[in-house]
Amino acid sequence: MRSSKSKKTIRAAVFSSGELCILDSFAMFKNKHLVDSIKTSTDRISFSIPEYNLIARLQDDNSFNVQFNEGSYIIKVEQKATNLGNAYYFFFHCPECSTRARKLYCIKGRYLCRKCGHLGYYSQKLNFYDRLLYMQAKIKATLKSKGGSLDRKPPWMKRHTFERLKLQEQIYEATYYYAAELEFARQIGGNPPRFEDILTEMRLRTMF
């Protein structure tokens, strides 16, 4: 019914840090034979979490009937045809807001979308200054991963793409220093420089 090899594949795709805290609809419905075998099993159990006494049973319409220590709820699943015509994408519907989502996150036994679970992305958790530094580092990492840098265009990257990334990095850096200058000016009662002047200085610096 559920071979150890197939189950291991699903666990690797769906489990996170050894616990079933993230459901990925693409991974869960990738193996059609495994899905069908769960539907024809006597208990229809797709997964369980002992910590919350949670048991999720797969229904004929691909939805999940979830029972846990605080009650029960349904995770609806939407089937969407791909452009190929003979294959399908599967998406969850958040039990809280019904928004379509590829991934749901376990919050004390309730699977919710990122918004309903109040889960922000890493960059959203950073303060204003750290977020600017993070975005700068992200651009540098992108160029480095493709064999380039801010001073050297990566092979095969289009020139306009490279210039756009360089400009974005300069804007993030200029914004960082402009915000710092504003804060300093407020503290001493002085006049901060114009943002355009700082950006021009950043761009001139990269030319030499």
The stretches in the chain having pLDDT less than 50 are 1-19, 208
CA distances from 174 to 126, 129, 167, 186 (A): 18, 11, 10, 18
Same domain, 134 and 90: no
Pair 130, 60 in one domain: no
User: What's the token pair of residue 137?
Assistant: 């580092």
The pLDDT score that the predictor gives to residue 202 is 63
Q: Does residue 91 share a domain with residue 73?
A: yes
What pLDDT sits at residue 71? 93
Tally helices (H) and strands (E) across the chain.
Answer: 6, 9
> Do residue 14 and residue 51 come from a single domain?
yes
In the chain, DSSP assigns E strands to 22-24, 45-49, 54-58, 64-68, 71-81, 88-93, 100-101, 103-107, 110-112
- Structure confidence at residue 176 (pLDDT): 82
Q: Which residues contact 167 (CB under 8 A, 6 or more apart)?
A: none
One domain for residues 106 and 86: yes
The whole-number pLDDT of residue 134 equals 82
Residue 117 lies in a domain: no
Identify any residues that bridge with 54 across adjacent strands, giving them in sequence order: 49
* Domains of the chain: total: 2
Mark whether 50 and 133 lie in a shared domain. no
Residues spanned by the domain of 168: 122-205
pLDDT of residue 15: 35
Contacts of 83 (CB under 8 A, 6+ apart): none
Same domain, 90 and 173: no
| DSSP characters over 102-153 | SEEEEETTEEE-TTTTT---GGGGS-HHHHHHHHHHHHHHHHHHTT-BTTBP
